[in-house]
Amino acid sequence: MDRLQSTISVSSEAFRRHDAHNRRLVVELRARQEAARHQRPARDLERLARQKKMPARQRIEKLLDPGTPFLELSTLAANMAYGGDAPSASSIVGIGVVAGREVMIRADDPTVKGGAWYPLTMKKIVRALDIAMENRLPVVHLCDSAGGFLPLQSELFPDKYVGGRIFRNQSLLSKMGVKQLALVFGHCTAGGAYIPGLSDYSVIVRGSGAVFLGGPPLVKAATGEEVTVEELGGAEMHTSVSGTCDWPADNEEHAIALGREIVAQWGRPKKWEAQWQAPEPPLYDPTELYGIIPDDIKTSFDMREVIARIVDGSRFHEYKPNYGTTLVCGFAHIWGFKVGILANNGVLFNDSSIKGAHFIELCNQNNTPLVFLQNITGYMVGREYERRGITKDGAKMIMAQTCSKVPKFTVMCNGSFGAGNYGMCGRAFDGRFLFAWPNSQIGVMGGDQAAKTLAEVKINQIRRNGGDVDPQEIEALISQTRAAYQQQLSAYYSTSELWDDGLLDPVDTRNALGMAISVSLNAPIGEPGYGVFRF
């Protein structure tokens, strides 16, 4: 493959301004991540120490093979919810290597309300198990939860994608032959009791681990029976009487050691044979991404410059370079894995939409995973483009992308607006992973467009009713709409709501994609099949 030739001047004023802006965003991102991971009230840390418990992240560190990476997902989940009281949605989720095997790790965080599950906690756990099913990833559950956060119980229990979905996913994982291990460090109460109950293997720590559908206070209230934690659901009872758990552990270190031994007995999945070659680093310095991404969401840039700093050797075989030029398509390698890349260089027109659909079909024909690099304002609107069939051409791209059999990965590099988000494999389209950069924005449209659209609707309404347009009222409407949109367009709002799998420092994108592609190869791919293309 030919190397991409960068035309960026790293000494230009624009590059230096963009670089400074994006480095500030990354500093803020890392500060927020650090706070979500480690800042806890002293009383909660002291409580863990008294109970002879490790913090959740220390448990994960001891579980992982030394010197191996951990791809943490959705670190900033719930960062704009619950008054900031549930950092990381009180749960840590990520992919790592245990006993030489790639696994999904899901850990309750007992420093957050005793590990209580908020609505977004359940959404995060469901997403983790979805990833495990999609990629045939074994799961290790590190259990230490007080159960559901009862003040929000109506958002925890009845709906399809909350509490019950966790246990449904666990059952399906077992049916698929994807192994699960529960390490019970603390209490597993109410629905949380089913985590070890539905796991294939379970270890419980003496003295601190407990599993029960109702704790001693609930048992007394419901039946009048007085019983201790140990009698009701402790390690000795569950490993010698009920059989709910398999191994007792003397302490947390012992439980983790047993867990590693158990994982070491598991067979290794046979990955499907994706095209691969020896990896090489990009020719261009990935830190130059900071100077390439603009400091204004509306400013355009060439996505080839981004590709050149992510892919192996900065080599890129571009497909149809002279046709549909607002969508860049082509083949490259990331950490040795061959991928097909679709990247936005402007609004999607008829030709770029058709080009994208055709390229997606080629990647499916050749079993080549797809990587979508989003910077999209949407599909082109207007009378001329509707007459040309922009709706049906956009639908072709959406159909091809939706029905793809190969793994799909999405990175929101800048803007992600309108139906362009759909064609470029937004969250609704079951990509294996979706990451975002801290500068990115997602919405039906940008804040300015939304404000102007609503103002135009308001003006027309007033005139239809025979009234006079008050410029101050219209300006107030525009300001209010823009302000509301800006908050909800933010990457931090998006990741708080789990619309992505985590915010990335742009420099880390290559590594995150490399790990994501690797784990995706555990799941077999099927035969291609499409619905009806409207011609």
The dihedral built from the CA positions of residue 339, 343, 348 and 351, taken in this order, carries a sign that is negative
User: What pLDDT digit, counting tens, does each position of 62-83 carry?
Assistant: 999 999 999 999 999 999 999 9
User: What pLDDT digit, counting tens, does each position of 378-436 carry?
Assistant: 999 999 999 999 999 999 999 999 999 999 999 999 999 989 999 999 999 999 999 99
Tokens of residue 449, six digits: 């467009």
DSSP 8-class letter at 341:
E
In 3-state terms the chain splits into helix, strand, coil percentages (rounded to 5) of 45, 20, 35
Q: Residue 155: which of 47, 238, 78, 60 has the closest Cα?
A: 78
Residue whose structure tokens are 């956009």:
394
pLDDT at 135 (0 to 100): 97
Distance between CA atoms of residues 161 and 156, nearest Å? 9
The dihedral built from the CA positions of residue 296, 301, 306 and 308, taken in this order, carries a sign that is negative
Over residues 277-292, the mean pLDDT reads 98
SS3 185: strand
Provide the residue type at 88 as one letter. S
Question: Could you write out the DSSP letters of every residue in 146-160?
Answer: --B-GGGGGGTSSST
HSE of 404, CA atoms in CB hemisphere, 13 A: 33
pLDDT at 477 (0 to 100): 77
CA 332 remoteness from chain centre: 23
pLDDT at 476 (0 to 100): 81
Over residues 449-470, the mean pLDDT reads 80
Q: Is the pLDDT of residue 467 over 90?
A: no
Q: Residue 261: which of 183, 347, 154, 341 has the closest Cα?
A: 183
SS3 249: strand
Q: How many residues does the chain have?
A: 535
> CB within 8 A of 283, min separation 6: which ones?
3, 308, 313, 314
Q: Residue 349: which of 403, 318, 309, 391 has the closest Cα?
A: 391
pLDDT at 313 (0 to 100): 98
Distance between CA atoms of residues 106 and 128, nearest Å? 7
> CB within 8 A of 338, min separation 6: which ones?
274, 275, 276, 277, 331, 332, 368, 369
User: What pLDDT digit, counting tens, does each position of 134-161 carry?
Assistant: 999 999 999 999 888 888 888 888 888 8
Contact 279, 312 (CB under 8 A): yes
CA-based angle 530:534:535, to the nearest 5? Answer: 120
Q: Is the pLDDT of residue 462 over 90?
A: no
Burial class (CB in 10 A: 0-12, 13-18, 19+), 268: exposed
Distance between CA atoms of residues 183 and 139, nearest Å? 11
pLDDT at 455 (0 to 100): 78
Lowest-confidence pick of 183-187, 319-323, 444-448: 444-448
